Amino acid sequence: MSSSTPIRQRLMTMILGTSGVVLLVTCAGFLSYEFLTFRQTAIRQLATLGEIVAANSTAALAFDNEDDATEILAAVKAERHIVAACLYDRMGRLFSRYPATAPAGGFQAAPGRDGYRFVGGYLEGFVPVVQVRGSQRLGTLYLRSDMGAMYERLRLYGGIALIVVGISSLAAYILSRQLQQQISRPILALVETATAVSEQGNYSVRARKLGEDELGVLTDAFNHMLERIQAQNLALQQAYDDLRQTQQTIMQQERLRAVGQMASGIAHDINNAISPAFILVESLLEREPALSHRTREYLGMVQRAIEDVAQTVSRLREFYRQREPQLTLAPVSLNQVAEQVADLTRARWGDMSLQRGVVISLKRELAPVLPVIMGVDSEIREALINLIFNAIDAMPEGGVITLRTRVEPGARAPAEAAAAGRVVIEVSDTGVGMDAETARRCLEPFFTTKGERGTGLGLAMVYGTVQRHGALIEIESAVGRGTTLRLLFPLPPAVVQPLAEAVELPPRAAPLQLLLVDDDPALLASLRQTLADDGHEVFAAAGGRAGLAAFHAARTEGRPFNAVLTDLGMPEVDGFRLAAAVKAASPETPVFLLTGWGQGVAPEGDAPACVDRVLNKPPRLRELREVLNLVRPRRS
């Protein structure tokens, strides 16, 4: 029985082997006993017969009666296995024989030694014939017994033993088939379960318990172990999921933070970069009445573009600041915004597409009469620009972009239709369209179909703008059938003032002696020029250290500055340190902080005590005049 034999077979073999060996040993013992006692029994039986015959033969021998002796001997024929018998007289001569017809030559001429012995297949015996009361031997009886019959009986016993062993083995087989299951079934059930667990990794299966014995205890322990493994697996999976979710959240936040930091840095640089342009354009429009109408119109467009840049840059920060900026809503004409957007994006859908050999046309379907809405025009403009850029990207083979505005009346009574209705502006393209999954997810931040070219922020920004305006966004798209993005703005509750074309600038402040500090030479030059144009005496310092030196020098000379305008981010001595030093020396001197970091870095409320006012870059002439109007000139 090898070690790989199934346990069922082993148990069977053990049971059958044991019972078989026991039976064989028993039968062998029985047969050995039979064989040994069989000879003794044969001798005893023959001896008994011999005694009887001898006792009966005494008189026949004593009185020499042969007939009587023959008659007595004939009685042994009742014993089938006695094949021969004879009597010898006291002289040792053959006296009579059995069978009576047997030839005298078949017998020994004289009696042998008294006693019984096995000769060949026969048992022979010589029995003395003695009369009980007498002491004289009267003769000798000879008996010969055929052992063949006896051996035959022994063989019969052997056959019976074999049959008994066979039947017993069969019975043992049938019984053990049933009984061995009591042990093998729980073990096999355990094996089955263990196999299922190890092969499928399924820890929810349980072994069937089939009894309360040791195997039952084993099954319980096994199941308990599985339960613990399952529970631990679950806990592990839970922990893993949590960890993964946390990791994703952290990654998302990290990404946002990185984008935010990057955006902040970009915002700073852009604000600094556009500040001179803005100041100069504003200055031109303000101070050069001789400009041609065409020049004035173009300069206005440039000014709007620069304002949009500034607004865009400021909103970039929102992604990581996640702070709802305070909106200053103003009446906005969507028709006007649509026209502006068409002009601003012309380069992209017009010239750039043509260079790639693709024809994209932009169609305007604007409602002739459209109510104004309350909103931030730069945000709305930027959102529409985003939508148009997306439309261009969706049409690599060219197509038509349609800009459409209309009033969508509400479902209420006609009198209240305006109040319940919405002003709609939509951008349609004839491009590749989106499938349902893409349409569903396209507003999510960082979701993009443009691969490396896209940031996944465009539509998210649009969505943010829409939400801030209390508007709705609708997306209609099907693969291969283009996309329509629709923004639905609520109508303002009251009648809105018509859009003021131009805001009057505040008057020039009284001439002041100003200290201007900035590490950007271009900004320094343009701002200095603008302020000088307003009649102020401006000392420009190209850094915090130089500014502080100039400030102290002026005080020493007895001609202190009326106010200090300083950039925030500068090497060595930054805006805050400069402001603190100025306030320490002369607390009454106003300090205005110009920052390209925008509200993000030094928001209004967070301004340190040493700063009187924070101005965002690019600085607007109006703001400058407003703050400078507050400054009281020391000497006039």
DSSP state at residue 180: H
Q: Which of 140/264 has CB closer to another protein?
A: 140
Q: C-alpha angle 538/543/545, rounded to 5°?
A: 105
Q: Which of 59/218 has CB closer to another protein?
A: 59
Helix or strand (DSSP H, E) at 306: helix 293-316
- Minimum Å gap between C-beta 131 and another protein is 4
Give the integer Cα–Cα distance in Å for 397 and 258.
Answer: 35
Span interacting with another protein, options 90-98, 263-271, 326-334, 604-612, rule CB under 8 A = 90-98
- Minimum Å gap between C-beta 143 and another protein is 19
Q: Which of 4/136 has CB closer to another protein?
A: 136
Site string for another protein, 43-62 (x = CB under 8 A): ------------xx-xxx-x
64, 114, 213, 324: which one contacts another protein (CB under 8 A)? 64
State the first-to-last Cα distance of the chain, in angstroms, to the nearest integer: 122
- Minimum Å gap between C-beta 52 and another protein is 12
Q: Which of 59/532 has CB closer to another protein?
A: 59
Q: Which residues of 505-527 are buried (b: 16+ CB within 10 A; e: fewer)?
A: eeeebeebbbbbbbbbeebbebb
Q: Which of 4/135 has CB closer to another protein?
A: 135
Span interacting with another protein, options 87-95, 113-121, 286-294, 441-449, rule CB under 8 A = 87-95
Which residues are bridge partners to 428 per DSSP? 402, 484
CB 137 within 8 A of CB 90: yes
- Minimum Å gap between C-beta 73 and another protein is 13
Q: Which of 132/609 has CB closer to another protein?
A: 132
Span interacting with another protein, options 126-134, 144-152, 154-162, 316-324, rule CB under 8 A = 126-134
- Minimum Å gap between C-beta 43 and another protein is 24
CB 338 within 8 A of CB 455: no
What is the distance, to the nearest Å, from the Cα of residue 581 to the centroid of all Cα atoms in its chain? 59
Burial class (CB in 10 A: 0-12, 13-18, 19+), 414: exposed
91, 104, 415, 503: which one contacts another protein (CB under 8 A)? 91
Q: Which of 129/514 has CB closer to another protein?
A: 129
Q: 486: helix, coil or strand? A: strand
Burial class (CB in 10 A: 0-12, 13-18, 19+), 393: middle
- Minimum Å gap between C-beta 51 and another protein is 14
**Pairing status of strand 137-146 against strand 122-130:** antiparallel
CB contact set of 427 (below 8 Å; sequence gap of 6+): 384, 387, 388, 391, 401, 402, 403, 404, 484, 485
- Minimum Å gap between C-beta 30 and another protein is 43
- Minimum Å gap between C-beta 44 and another protein is 24
Asked whether position 113 contacts another protein by CB under 8 A, the answer is no
The DSSP code sequence of 264-302 is HHHHHHHHHHHHHHHHHHHHHHHH-TT--HHHHHHHHHH
- Minimum Å gap between C-beta 35 and another protein is 37
Cα dihedral sign for 384, 390, 391, 397?
Answer: positive
Give the integer Cα–Cα distance in Å for 319 and 518.
Answer: 28
User: What is the maximum span of the chain, computed from C-alpha positions, in angstroms?
Assistant: 196
- Minimum Å gap between C-beta 133 and another protein is 5
3, 4, 63, 453: which one contacts another protein (CB under 8 A)? 63
Q: Which of 54/332 has CB closer to another protein?
A: 54
Asked whether position 90 contacts another protein by CB under 8 A, the answer is yes
Q: Which of residues 92-111 bind another protein (CB under 8 A)?
A: 92
Asked whether position 40 contacts another protein by CB under 8 A, the answer is no
- Minimum Å gap between C-beta 154 and another protein is 37
CB 539 within 8 A of CB 563: no
Site string for another protein, 127-156 (x = CB under 8 A): ----x-xxxxxx------------------
Asked whether position 521 contacts another protein by CB under 8 A, the answer is no
Q: In what order do the strands lie in the sheet with 472-477?
A: 360-365, 399-408, 422-428, 483-490, 472-477
Q: Where are the beta strands (DSSP E) in 70-114?
A: 82-89, 94-98
Asked whether position 68 contacts another protein by CB under 8 A, the answer is yes
Q: Which of 129/207 has CB closer to another protein?
A: 129
Q: C-alpha angle 64/99/45, rounded to 5°?
A: 90
Q: Which of 131/586 has CB closer to another protein?
A: 131
Q: Which of residues 539-578 bind another protein (CB under 8 A)?
A: none
Give the integer Cα–Cα distance in Å for 618 and 603.
Answer: 15
Question: Angle between the 377-393 and 458-468 helix axes, to the nearest 10 degrees?
Answer: 150
Report the candidate in 327, 620, 322 with the shortest Cα–Cα distance to residue 469: 327
Site string for another protein, 360-379 (x = CB under 8 A): --------------------
- Minimum Å gap between C-beta 161 and another protein is 46
- Minimum Å gap between C-beta 108 and another protein is 16
Binding residues for another protein, rule CB under 8 A, total 21
Which residues form the interface with another protein (CB under 8 A)?
55-56, 58-60, 62-65, 68, 72, 90-92, 131, 133-138
